[in-house]
Amino acid sequence: MKQQPALPNFVSTTATWGTVVYLALATLATVFYLERMAFLDMAFQCFHILRTGELQIQSGRFGAAGTQVFAWLAQAAGLPLRGVLLSYSLGHVLYYLILFLLITLGLRQWKWGLVLVLVSTLMTTHTFYWLSEMPQGLAFLLLVLAWLQHKGSLDALRWWEYPLLAAALVTAFYFHPMVLYAMVFCSVFFLLDRQSSKGTRALQALALGIFVATVFVKYKVLKLDWYDAMSLERAKAFGELWPNWFDIPSNRDFLRWCLRDYYLIPVLVAANTIFYLRQKNWLKAGLCAAFPLGFVLMVNIPFHQGDNQFYLENLYLPLAVFAALPFVFDVVPALPAPRWQWGALSALVLISLFRIFQTHDPWTARLRWEQELLQQTSQRPARKLLLTEQQAPMDKLVLSWGTPYEFLMLSALGHPDSARCILVDEAPERFDTLLAKPGLFLGEFKNYRFDELPQRYFHLTDTSAYVRY
């Protein structure tokens, strides 16, 4: 269905409203930049961007360049470490703001702009602090779908736009494989639309076909890397657990998290389903009710024993698309007046922003423990330390593999000469043969000589041996 041209004031209102939301997120990203950057993947990636002066694409997820470029530009401009980390944190908001403005002011698809804002906020809780490629991929997919809406019909595509569309869809998938489910939902949603023309449906079907073909090539033709192979290995749980798919710990965890954090998702899913039932649109009602349930099982069954909330939340994020798309395209326009429409949207976003802010407590507590450890050990003769997980508050630390990079970043914030080597590990004895190496930075996956590190950020001068804390 091709969207009718929006009134200029409605487009500008949407652009202004969404920009304000992203500025609020940018404020939070500034205040809590260390909580976001001095943790696992971001600390690891930033360390290697600074070490190599290059982008760090992992598991073929080359779309991550869209946010890594901010840290890369900051180090290329010679900004100090604090400036690089702050740029990287803000870049994860500016990326979405840029896509939002392209959708609203460029393509004039104000409904897709509203969907993007809701996808950025509705479910985002711990994933505001643990950053991944999934939300980046969802946002990029929405830009592609907004462009398809702008074109309106398969007949409107020019010859050179076919490879452009294919490249865009391949890129969306390569942000994160589970973007596939968002694509399937959106395509089916518009294929079921009663007002869609034949050309619009053909365009949606073509896009879905390209996406499915990309999935087939990745998983059946190309060689998988270890991470994707591990994900496929988990899929065996579907057969092993049948018929006990519902009585598993991960489902109970998800229900608990819905009551505490993700409450807006079931509320909107229910509202969308009821709306379509009242419209006697049985197919869309079934899609809105059944697809989210099936998707939750797709996530929970492979992780049936449960996992850290921030990681599983990252996998659940397409639920925000399933909730936001029908709400914005069909439910909101049915509200009686613009003030009700904007009131409903603003209430959802304000609740979400407050929840994101409130969630900072455990992330700040983790950061403070690391900062306090650095302070407490700053005057010790031996300053290169190796800790066991039993010596760390793992309820705060959660995972230890990122600690070498986290402590290195935090210690070097004041000055490159203050950089320190501290490592927390579940099996520290594996480093015993390396403890006496005076000029070696020990990392979880690889060790580096001091002279291999960028001196303007990490000027490591401590040539004493590592000691057990």
Summarised one tens digit per residue, pLDDT across range 392-419 is 999 999 999 999 999 999 999 999 999 9
Q: What integer is the mean pLDDT of 9-36? A: 95
Tokens of 139: 């946002």
Residue 231's pLDDT band (boundaries 50, 70, 90)?
Answer: confident
The pLDDT, as a whole number, for residue 194 is 83
- pLDDT grade, residue 226 (50/70/90)? confident
> pLDDT per residue over 288-308, tens digit each?
999 999 999 999 999 999 999
Residue 3 — very low, low, confident or very high, per pLDDT cuts 50/70/90?
A: very low
pLDDT at residue 397 in the model: 97
pLDDT tens by residue, 375-394: 999 988 888 999 999 999 99
pLDDT at residue 142, rounded to an integer: 98
What token pair was written down for 126? Answer: 């711990």
Please report, for the chain, the start and end positions of each structural domain, with discontinuous segments joined by +. 8-358, 361-468
Q: What's the pLDDT score for residue 225?
A: 80
Per-residue pLDDT band at 29 (split at 50, 70, 90) = very high
CA of residue 379 relative to chain centroid, distance: 39
Give the closest residue to 359 by CA, choosing from 130, 125, 131, 37: 125
What pLDDT, on a 0 to 100 scale, did the predictor assign at position 4? 45
The mean per-residue pLDDT over the stretch 169-190 comes to: 96
> Bridge partners of 467?
385
As to burial, measured by CB atoms within 10 angstroms (0-12 exposed, 13-18 middle, 19+ buried), residue 313 is buried
Query: At 5, is the pLDDT very low, low, confident or very high (cuts 50, 70, 90)?
Result: very low
Mean pLDDT of the chain: 94
- Mean pLDDT confidence for 269-274: 98
DSSP codes joined into one string, 394-461: HHHH---TTHHHHHHHHHHSS-GGG---EEEES-GGGGGGGTT-TTEE--SS--EEGGGS-TTT----
DSSP 103: I
When pLDDT is cut at 50, 70 and 90, the band that residue 6 belongs to is: very low
Averaged pLDDT, 317-327: 98
pLDDT for residue 8: 52
Examine the pLDDT at 2 and tell me if it is beyond 70. no
Q: What is the mean pLDDT of residues 83-109?
A: 97
Instruction: Please write the tens of the pLDDT for every residue from 358-374.
Output: 999 999 999 999 999 99
For residue 160, the 8-state DSSP code is: T
Query: pLDDT at position 229, please?
Result: 80
Beta bridge partners of 440: 449
**Secondary structure E strands in 77-200:** none
- Percent of the chain whose predicted confidence (pLDDT) is above 90: 88
> Which residue in the block uniquely carries the two structure tokens 């070498």?
404
Yes or no: say if 43 and 402 are a contact pair by the CB < 8 Å rule. yes
Distances (CA, A) of 97 to 91, 105, 456: 10, 12, 31
Whether 138 has a pLDDT exceeding 70, the answer reads yes
